[in-house]
Amino acid sequence: MKIELLEKEQAAESIRPIYEGMEKKSGRVINMYKVMAHKPNVLGPFLEFYKQVWAPGALDPKIKELAYLRTSIMNGCTYCSRAHTASAKRRGVTDEQVQALKEPGGSSRDVFTEEERAVIQFAEQLTAWPAAIQAADLETLGKFFNTEQIEELVLTIATANLTNRFNEGMKTPVDV
């Protein structure tokens, strides 16, 4: 079964203003939102949540992108990996770092700072087996980040896992 992308004319009246806002801001509505539009009561709250996760906060956006991109690569989410490769580069992630994120054990390469390696390793742990996170893992992060920053990191990784599973589960076509 192929999931239909809902264009503005097909979408529920309640979310048409959301589409119009996206079109005004970026000139388009991305496919993930066209798929999520099948659940209009979810799309609006999801967008607000996503906006808050990515809002300027205590954690450097580059750090968020490293965690999000590594999570998406681990999960094999083509849609999110492609989108976040582009946004990661806009936030200072180098081509060499992107390549390293694609490699098993790539986080140990010298293209990352010690802080970045800790973030990537935590993203891997939280994605692969969340119940295995130990206090020591948070202590490692605590060498570089305060509680608010760690919370933003966990929210970023959790959001990546959610969007990865949504896009892979719905087979959302990559935006062109």
For residue 82, give the CATH number of its domain: 1.20.1290.10
* Least confident interval from 26-35, 68-77, 105-114, 165-174: 105-114
Domain span at 24: 13-54
Residue 5 lies in a domain: no
Measure Cα distances from 78 to 10, 12, 44, 155, 164 in Å: 26, 28, 24, 21, 9
Q: Give the model confidence (pLDDT) of 138-148 as tens digits.
A: 999 999 999 99
Phi, psi of 10 (to 5 degrees): -90, -20
Three-class secondary structure of residue 45 per DSSP: helix
Predicted TM-score of the model (pTM): 0.95
Please classify residue 169 by burial: count the beta carbons closer than 10 Å to its beta carbon, then call 0-12 exposed, 13-18 middle and 19+ buried. Answer: exposed
Taking the CA of residue 130 as centre, how many other CA atoms within 13 Å lie in the half-sphere pointing to its CB?
7
Residue 2 lies in a domain: no
Q: Give the model confidence (pLDDT) of 77-129 as tens digits.
A: 999 999 999 999 999 999 999 999 999 876 667 899 999 999 999 999 999 99
Residue 92 and residue 162 share a domain: yes
pLDDT at site 136: 96
Q: How many separate domains does the chain show?
A: 2
Residue pair 32/172 in contact by the 8 Å Cβ criterion: yes
Measure Cα distances from 47 to 19, 41, 50 in Å: 11, 11, 5
